[in-house]
Amino acid sequence: MTLDFKSLDFRDRNVVVTGGTGALGRAVVGALLEAGARCHVSYMVETEAQSFPFRDRATLHAVGDLADEATVTKLYDAVPGLWASIHLAGGFAMAGIADTGKAALMAQVDANFASCFLCCRAAVTAIRNTGSGGRVVNVAARPGLEWRSGAGMVAYAASKAAVAAMTVALAEEVARDGILVNAVAPSIMDTPANRRAMPDADHAAWPKVEEVAATILFLASPANAVTRGGVVPVYGKV
């Protein structure tokens, strides 16, 4: 599948992509670069950074814990004139409630909600400083919208539901600053890791990372002039 991202003009615009060295992140960063963006990509896994195909075209930032306020502040202080911030970093744990103690619960809250909250906070501050408006895009998940589908992964579903609620509330809070905040909510995406984990699933029905990236790119682009407070399902055919 070939998607034309050049019509979404990011020329000379600085964009942060957290978790940008993963499967979805690579699709997003590749599309942003095609559209002319200056990409600032945070990562935690060194092997992903070493194999990142855009090392010579994007600025990589090694980070520790994005649920740590000082770490997030340092990341955003290193980015000049921020236009958009796209928050892909997160974590998944499949476990029923009987097997999920407080430590495991808080790990999901930190990985998915607290990290997103702190990055949103830093991004809003940085974009406000430009006086030119900008865009924020978060990543929720299907169980964060369709709660019954979160059975067996209740901590994950709750943390992603918090991302969705925050997105809508924040969109109202910063609209007058010209900052449009939205989120996407993917179902299971077609990645090598997911195929290995579910070899008998109907992979053709899963949304492709390039397709999810296309939705993210529009929401983060100047072409999106009016959409805010959306949590967009990107479910594919299932």
Q: What positions carry a catalytic annotation?
A: 156
| Beta carbons of 235 and 208 less than 8 angstroms apart | no
Which residues are registered as beta bridge partners of 18? Answer: 87
Region of residue 155 (left: phi > 0; alpha: psi -120 to 50; beta: else): alpha
125/185 Cα distance (integer angstroms): 25
State whether the Cα torsion 43-44-49-52 is positive or negative.
Answer: negative
Q: What residues contact 192, with CB distance under 8 A and at least 6 apart?
A: 23
Residue closest to 95 by CA, chosen among 85, 105, 82 = 105
Contacts of 201-208 with CB under 8 Å at 24 or more apart are 202/238, 204/237, 205/236, 205/237, 205/238, 206/236, 206/237, 206/238, 207/234, 207/235, 207/236, 208/1, 208/236
The Cα–Cα gap between 180 and 182 comes to 7
Q: How far apart are CA 56 and CA 173, in angstroms?
A: 37
Residue 202: exposed, middle, or buried by beta-carbon count in 10 A (0-12, 13-18, 19+)? Answer: exposed
